[in-house]
Amino acid sequence: MNSMPLFEWNKCRHEPLVVAGPCSVESRAQLVEVTGALCALPQVRLIRCGVWKPRSRPGGFEGLGEQALRWMAETKASAADDKRPRYACEVATPEHVEAVLRHGIDAVWIGARTTANPFMVQELAEALRGTGMSVMVKNAPSPDVRLWMGAIERCLKAGLDDVAAVHRGFDLFHNASFRNLPLWEVPIELRRSMPGLPILCDPSHIAGSREPLPSLSQMAMDLGFDGLMVETHPRPDEALTDADQQLTPAQLSGLISGLLLRQTDTEKADQELRLLRLQIDQADQELLRLLAVRLDVVRQIAEVKSQSNWAVFQPKRWEALLSNRLEAARGLGLCDDFVKELFEKIHAESVRVQEAMMEEKKSAGAQ
C-alpha cells in the first residue's frame, strides 16, 4: 500500500480509491484474515476498522477499543515493508485521536453522528492539528450540506491538508428501500461548493444490505466520485455489527472489477449531463408527489361541496386561481401560455375527479 498523503496522491490517478474493511474489528484472527485478503487487492489503499462503535442504543457490541489498535499495530509491524497495510479508524473524541496516534494508525474518519456536532468536530480537528493524518469526514445523518461542509472546513482550518468527504446516505423516516437514502444531490452540491475535495461513497451504509452495492457503487463512479468505502468481512453473516451489508473480500473484488470507469475528458460532458438529468428526475418526482397531494385536497373539497350542495365547477374561484398562478409564474420567469395550459389541465383533472365522486355519491344515494 502506498505512502501518504493518500487523497492528494489519488487525485492524479484514473481509478477509484477503495477503502475496505470490517465494520468492527472483532478478534485478532478476523483482523489478520481480512488484512491479508485486502492487501491482495491492489485497488484497496486503506483498510477501515471500526474500533469504537457508535451504537444508537446501549447494550450492543461497542467495539474492542485499544485492544484492536494493538492488534493493528502488531499486524503492521509484522508485514514486509512493501506489503504493510494502512489502517483507518473512526474517531469520535480527542482521546480516540490520541490512541490512534499512539498505535501508528494511518488515517481516521469522523462518523456521521459526530459530524452532526460542530463542538465535537472542532475538538477532533484540534486534536488532529499537526499530525499529518489523512481524514475522512462522513456526512451527518441529516441532509444538511452546510453541516457536512462545516465539519470539513474545521479540519482544513486546523491545517489538515489530506481531507476527503464520505457520502454514507441520509437517515430519513420514509426510507423503505435503503438504510440511508442516497440523496445524490447533496454530495453533488458539496462537489459544486468544494470542487477540489475528494469524495468517496460508502454504499454499505447507504444500502444496509448487499444486493444494491454494485449499482450504488456504479452510480458513484458515474457521478465522478473519487472512490468507495466498502465494509468487508471474512464471514459477513457472522459479523457482530452490520452483518447484512458486509461483503467478503472476494465479493468486493468482483464489485471492483465490475465497475465501468469513465476516464476520458470527452466523457466529462456525459458526466455533467448525468448530474443535470439526476436533478431533472428529482424535480419531476417532486412534481408528481405534489400533484398527488393536490388531488388529495381536491377530493376533500368534493366532500365539502357535496355536503353543502355546491356545484363542482366554481368559475369565480377558477378565474382567481388562474390569475394568481399566472402572476406567481411570471415572477419565476415561466411563460404565460405554458402555465395557463398546465393549470387548465390540472383544473380539468380536479373537476373530473370531483364530478366522478359526486356521481358515485348520487348513485349510492339512489340505491
Report the interface residues with Mn ion, using CB under 5 A: 23, 242
Question: Footprint of ligand PEP on residues 85-104 (CB under 6 A)?
Answer: 90
Nearest distance, CB of residue 21 and Mn ion, angstroms: 10
Residue closer to ligand PEP by CB (options 54, 254) is 54
As a whole number of angstroms, the longest Cα–Cα distance in the chain is 89
Cβ closer to ligand PEP: 61 or 318? Answer: 61
Q: Least distance from C-beta 18 to ligand PEP, angstroms? A: 15
Query: In degrees rounded to 5, what are phi and psi of residue 95?
Result: -65, -40
Three-class secondary structure assignment of 225-271: CCEEEEEECCCHHHCCCCCCCCECHHHHHHHHHCCCCCCCHHHHHHH
Among 1, 17, 18, 23, binds ligand PEP (CB under 6 A): 23
Least distance CB 106 / ligand PEP (angstroms)? 16
Q: How far apart are CA 325 and CA 339, in angstroms?
A: 8
Q: Which three cell numbers stand for residue 185?
A: 444531490
Q: Which residue has the cell 474493511?
A: 21
Member of 205, 210, 233, 274 binding ligand PEP (CB under 6 A): 205
Binding residue count for ligand PEP, defined by CB under 6 A = 9
Which grid cell sits at 82?
512493501
Q: How far is the CB of 39 from ligand PEP (least distance, A)?
A: 20
Smallest distance from ligand PEP to CB 307, Å: 51
Chosen from ligand PEP, Mn ion, none, partner binding at 199 (C-beta under 5 to 8 Å by type) = none
Sign of CA dihedral 151, 50, 44, 243: negative
Q: Cα separation of 152 and 163, whole Å?
A: 7
> Cα–Cα–Cα angle for 245, 135, 108, nearest 5°?
60
Burial letters 55-91, b for 16+ CB under 10 A, else e? eeeeeeebbbeeebbebbbebbeeeeeeebbbbbbbb
Binding positions for ligand PEP, 334-363, rule CB under 6 A? none
179 binds ligand PEP (CB under 6 A): no
Q: Please identify, using beta-carbon distances, which residue of 112 and 127 lies nearer to ligand PEP.
A: 112
Question: What is the per-residue binding string for ligand PEP in 118-147, x denoting contact by CB under 6 A?
Answer: --------------------x---------
- Output the smallest distance, CB 202 to ligand PEP, in A: 6
H or E element, residue 204: helix 203-207
Distance, in Å, from the CA atom of 178 to the CA atom of 180, rounded to the nearest integer, reads: 5
* 318, three cell numbers: 377558477
Q: How many CB atoms lie within 10 A of CB 325?
A: 17
Position closest to ligand PEP via CB: 111
Through-space distance between the first and last CA atoms of the chain, rounded to whole angstroms: 80
- 45/39 Cα distance (integer angstroms): 8
- Please, what is the minimum distance in Å from the beta carbon of residue 242 to ligand PEP? 7
Rule CB under 6 A: say whether 54 interacts with ligand PEP: yes
- Find the binder of ligand PEP among 45, 168, 210, 274 (CB under 6 A): 168
Which residue from 62, 58, 60 is spatially nearest to 24, judged by alpha carbons?
62
Query: Which is closer to ligand PEP, CB of 86 or CB of 138?
Result: 138
Is the CB of 54 or the CB of 132 nearer to ligand PEP?
Answer: 54
CB 168 → ligand PEP: shortest distance, Å? 4
- Specify the residue, 125 or 200, whose C-beta has the smaller distance to Mn ion: 200
Residue numbers of the site for ligand PEP (CB under 6 A)? Answer: 23, 50, 54, 90, 111-112, 138, 168, 205
